């Protein structure tokens, strides 16, 4: 299959690494054969969808790419919205399983894929992956597409003793983060066509060693880029990005601290509230007439405790991980910015050298300078596109996150309110009952 051609179409930023990628896509070929065997088994078990389904889809996905290309050439306003409408690759991470062997204990997750793309031989795949496989994928993506923003993975290292790596909450949170990671890649117009993603989603066994050999190769080129050139003047828009990221990162940190502090205050409040309820309960035993009101109050306090507990759990499971993801996202983004700066610096240095030489012997501009310029421009274009996409994603994510926070708080208050209101109804009924029995 011709993986290379559509990739070239998908982004202008593909050219400089095309040379490196060609042997890679060739290497991926035998990989995908083994993959297909494994994939056949998995998919064949779930449903035997015929391969033909991929043919109408191929036109649609091609259309999608072409359309995106138009967008890139024109003004990229909201690439996110475009991709959501014409999505053709759906990835889900679910069903974590613990594996215990003599050597190690680890968790694997089910990665299910549904697609209509021609690059995939089957419409559905289902594989199991562990964290380090995701890590491998991310490294591969970063190396093969250095001009693009690669979504972050959840932190690899957790403080031992503080966090139980095999606890349900931890695994659940990590699974959600991994799911987000893959979805972001699958929705990306360039990254989603990366052959490494393909093998990650489809291969029965990931041949990571092959990847390693490649890694060293690409790593060299990265190092080469990293060779210190001094940047002259960064274009204003990239300066603005850098500044934005710094401030945004700082605000994220503050929001994270506030959220954690609130959780702490709430959990302490919960402790006291529980005791408060207990005291009301212990009062019940002393009274005859006040029995019901006191029991009622104790009951309401208990209900409120439950509501508060839910609120805290929801916030720590849904709110904090998103903040963390964005903190890591900022890191990735900064990393790309840095690499862009380096490519600009390299170009400027080479250009300067060439101009000097030109003055001496009037030779035409050497090819390598042009290549550097191409590379830088490709960096700029990719980064800008990714930036727009990221901003758009961020806006959606934070909108969802913050309205979610409001909803959770509203929900908590509603539960408490309902409890207290039912108590009042109960007590007022009792009072009118008493009054009517008195008059009778």
Partner 1 sequence: MMMADSGSNEEVAVIVNTDITSTESENNLINTMVERGTALLRKMEINVAEAEKRTGKNTVNMQETYTVYLIEIRPAETVPEGGTPATPDTLWRRYSEFELLRTYLLVTYPYIIIPPLPEKRAEFVWHKLAADNLDPDFVERRRVGLENFLLRVASHPVLSNDKIFFLFLTEEKGWREAVLETGFQDKVDSRLKSLSAMFRVKNPDKRFTALKHYSDELNTVISQLLRVRVKVADRLYGVYKVHGNYGRVFSEWSAIEKEMGDGLQSAGHHMDTYAASIDDILEEEEHYADQLKEYLFYTDAVRSVCRKHELIQYELEMVAQDLVHKKQQKEELATGTVRIFSLKGMTSKLFGQESQEQRESRLAALEQSIQEGEEILKEKNTECGEFVQTAWEDIERFKEQKDKDLREALISYAIMQISMCKKGIQVWSNAKECFNKI
Residues that bind partner 1 (CB under 8 A): 244, 247-248, 251, 254-255, 258, 261-262, 265-266, 268-269, 272-273, 275-276, 279-280, 282-283, 286-287, 289-290, 293-294, 296-297, 300, 304, 395, 398-399, 402-403, 405-407, 409-410, 412-414, 416-417, 420-421, 423-424, 427-428, 431
First-last CA distance in the chain: 92
Nearer to partner 1, 231 or 245 (CB): 245
- Minimal distance, residue 219 CB to partner 1, in Å: 35
Q: Nearest approach, Cβ of 431 to partner 1 (angstroms)? A: 8
| Minimum distance, C-beta of residue 283 to partner 1, in the bound complex (Å) | 5
> Between residues 70 and 265, which has the closer beta carbon with respect to partner 1?
265
What Rg value do the Cα atoms of the chain yield, rounded? 29
Least separation in angstroms between residue 412's CB and partner 1 is: 8
- Report which DSSP code applies to 318: I
Q: Which of 24/305 has CB closer to partner 1?
A: 305
- CB nearer to partner 1: pick between 62 and 427: 427
CB of 170 or CB of 398, closer to partner 1: 398
Comparison of 200 and 387: residue with beta carbon closer to partner 1:
387
CB of 296 to partner 1, least distance (A): 8
Cβ contact 348:377 at 8 Å = no
Of the two residues 236 and 367, which places its CB atom closer to partner 1 in the complex? 236
When the beta carbons of 104 and 288 are compared against partner 1, the nearer one is 288
For residue 119, what is the enclosing H or E element? none
Chain center to CA of 325: 6
Minimum Å gap between C-beta 272 and partner 1 is: 4
Please identify, using beta-carbon distances, which residue of 26 and 418 lies nearer to partner 1.
418
- CA separation for the pair 183, 175 (Å, rounded): 12
For 83-205, list the strands marked E by DSSP: 89-100, 105-115, 124-130
3-state secondary structure 41-82: HHHHHHCCCCHHHHHHHHHHHHHHHHHHHHHHHCCCCCHHHH
- Give the nearest distance from C-beta 425 to partner 1 in angstroms: 10
Could you give the CA distance from residue 368 to residue 350 in angstroms, rounded to a whole number? Answer: 8
For helices 208-226 and 320-361, give the axis angle rounded to 10 degrees. 50
Question: In whole angstroms, what separates CA 231 from the centre of its chain?
Answer: 31
Nearest C-alpha neighbor of 384 from the set 163, 392, 359: 392
Q: Report the nearest approach of partner 1 to the CB of residue 302 (Å).
A: 13
Q: Check if the beta carbon of residue 190 is closer than 8 Å to that of residue 18.
A: no
Beta carbons of 123 and 53 less than 8 angstroms apart = yes
In the complex, least distance from residue 317 CB atom to partner 1, rounded to whole angstroms: 19
Which residues neighbour 345 within 8 Å (Cβ) at sequence distance 6 or greater? 229, 230, 231, 232
């Amino acid at each position: 299959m011709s993986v290379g051609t559509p990739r070239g179409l998908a982004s202008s930023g593909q050219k400089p690494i095309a040379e490196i990628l060609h042997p890679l896509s060739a290497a991926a070929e035998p990989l995908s054969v083994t993959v297909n065997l494994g994939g056949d088994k998995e998919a064949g078990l779930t449903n035997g969808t015929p391969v033909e389904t991929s043919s109408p889809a191929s036109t649609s996905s091609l259309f999608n790419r072409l359309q995106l290309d138009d967008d890139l050439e024109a003004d990229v306003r909201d690439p996110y919205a475009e991709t959501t409408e014409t999505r053709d690759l759906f990835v889900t991470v679910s069903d974590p399983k613990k594996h215990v062997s003599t050597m190690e204990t680890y968790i694997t997750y089910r990665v299910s894929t549904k697609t209509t793309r021609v690059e995939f031989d089957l419409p559905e795949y289902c594989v199991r992956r562990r964290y380090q496989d995701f890590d491998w994928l991310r490294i591969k993506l970063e190396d093969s597409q250095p001009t693009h923003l690669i979504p972050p993975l959840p932190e690899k290292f957790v403080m031992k003793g503080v966090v139980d790596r095999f606890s349900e909450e931890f695994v659940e949170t990590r699974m959600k983060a991994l799911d987000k990671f893959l979805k972001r890649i699958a929705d990306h117009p360039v990254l989603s066509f990366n052959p490494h993603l393909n093998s990650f989603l489809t291969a029965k066994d990931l041949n990571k060693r092959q990847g390693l050999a490649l890694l060293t190769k690409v790593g060299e080129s990265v190092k080469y880029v990293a060779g210190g050139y001094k940047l002259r003047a960064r274009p204003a828009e990239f300066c603005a990005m850098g500044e934005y990221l710094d401030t945004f990162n700082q605000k994220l940190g503050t929001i994270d601290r506030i959220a954690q502090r609130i959780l702490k205050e709430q959990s302490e409040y919960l402790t006291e509230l529980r005791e408060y309820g207990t005291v009301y309960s212990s009062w019940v035993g002393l009274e005859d007439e006040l029995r019901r009101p006191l029991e009622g109050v104790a009951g309401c306090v208990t209900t409120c405790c439950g509501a508060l507990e839910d609120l805290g759990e929801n916030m720590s499971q849904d709110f904090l991980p998103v903040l963390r993801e964005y903190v890591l996202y900022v890191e990735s983004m900064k990393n790309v910015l840095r690499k862009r700066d380096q490519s600009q610096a390299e170009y400027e240095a080479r250009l300067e050298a060439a101009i000097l030489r030109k003055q001496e012997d009037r030779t035409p501009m050497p090819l390598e300078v042009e290549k550097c310029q191409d590379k830088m421009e490709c960096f700029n274009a990719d980064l800008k596109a990714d930036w727009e996409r990221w901003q758009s994603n961020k806006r959606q994510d934070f909108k969802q996150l913050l309205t979610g926070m409001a909803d959770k708080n509203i929900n908590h208050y509603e539960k408490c309110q309902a409890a207290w209101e039912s108590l009042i109804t109960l007590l007022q009924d009792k009072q009118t009952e008493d009054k009517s029995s008195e008059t009778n």
